[in-house]
């Protein structure tokens, strides 16, 4: 997941964590072998030294932010105590709700011929996206990042959603949300973001 790789880059621990690319589609895919790592055969997955495996990008980002908390704090990349509620809320909201809105929109509007698109599904997900974008746009008013002035792991998680929305239908989903557009510019100008996303493939079904 680009979310997790982005956070690894922000922390500066690329040498501590081995990132392996997994092909889920095409002739290079080896889903049976990957099932030994992730039972649902989706990405990401983080295998720990203990042998345990984390299977969700939000959980992985929270875990990394926890074990590298001192390193993040030294760089000012942690939420203030008053922002902790926002921190947890937006991370969980992104992975439990927003991903489920964007995935079908991306697949329908990017990978599906117009004559075969499920217009009812598209309309339903666009309606839900409007709720999300309106809420996020209001939240970002007067803020640099999700947790105020401090960039945190929450920005890696929700920022991925913002980037994802921006590549659907030529960015039309974000056209009415100026605060989100400005936020996107801020996060995309970060060195860690450029390291990961400038070489990353666009998302495809089941590859978050």
What does the pLDDT look like over 166-182, one tens digit per residue? 999 999 999 999 999 99
Give CA–CA dist 122/85, Å, rounded. 31
Peptide bond into 166 cis (omega under 30): no
Structural domains in the chain plus CATH codes: 2-74 (3.40.30.10), 81-197 (1.20.1050.10)
Give CA–CA dist 202/160, Å, rounded. 11
* DSSP three-state, residue 147: strand
Spatial neighbors of 196 by CB under 8 A, at least 6 apart, are 2, 5, 6, 9
- What is the value of pTM for the model shown? 0.90
Write the CA distances from 35 to 28, 29, 40, integer angstroms. 15, 11, 7
pLDDT per residue as tens digits for the range 78-131: 999 999 999 999 999 999 999 999 999 999 999 999 999 999 999 999 999 999
Q: What integer is the mean pLDDT of 137-147?
A: 98
Beta bridge partners of 53: 47
Max CA separation in the chain (angstroms): 53
| pLDDT over 90 (residue 67) | yes
Task: Give me the helix-helix angle, 119-140 and 178-188, nearest 10°.
Answer: 80
Contact in structure between 208 and 1 (CB atoms under 8 Å): yes
């Amino acid at each position: 997941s680009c979310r997790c790789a982005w956070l690894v880059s922000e922390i500066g621990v690329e040498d501590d964590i081995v990132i392996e690319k997994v092909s889920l589609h095409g002739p290079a895919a080896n889903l049976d072998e990957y099932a030994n790592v992730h039972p649902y055969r989706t990405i990401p997955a983080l295998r720990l030294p203990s042998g345990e495996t984390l299977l969700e990008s939000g959980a992985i980002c929270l875990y990394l932010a926890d074990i590298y908390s001192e390193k993040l704090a030294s760089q000012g990349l942690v939420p203030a105590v008053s922002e902790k509620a926002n921190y947890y809320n937006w991370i969980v909201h992104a992975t439990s709700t927003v991903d489920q809105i964007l995935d079908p929109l991306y697949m329908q509007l990017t990978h599906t011929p117009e004559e075969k698109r499920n217009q009812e599904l598209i309309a339903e997900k666009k309606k839900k996206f409007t709720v999300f974008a309106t809420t996020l746009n209001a939240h970002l008013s007067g803020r640099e990042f999700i947790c105020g002035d401090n960039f945190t792991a929450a920005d890696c998680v929700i920022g991925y959603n913002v980037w994802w929305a921006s590549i659907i239908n030529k960015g039309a989903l974000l056209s009415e949300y100026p605060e989100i557009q400005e936020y996107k510019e801020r996060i995309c100008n970060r060195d860690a973001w450029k390291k990961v996303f400038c070489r990353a493939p666009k998302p495809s079904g089941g590859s978050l």
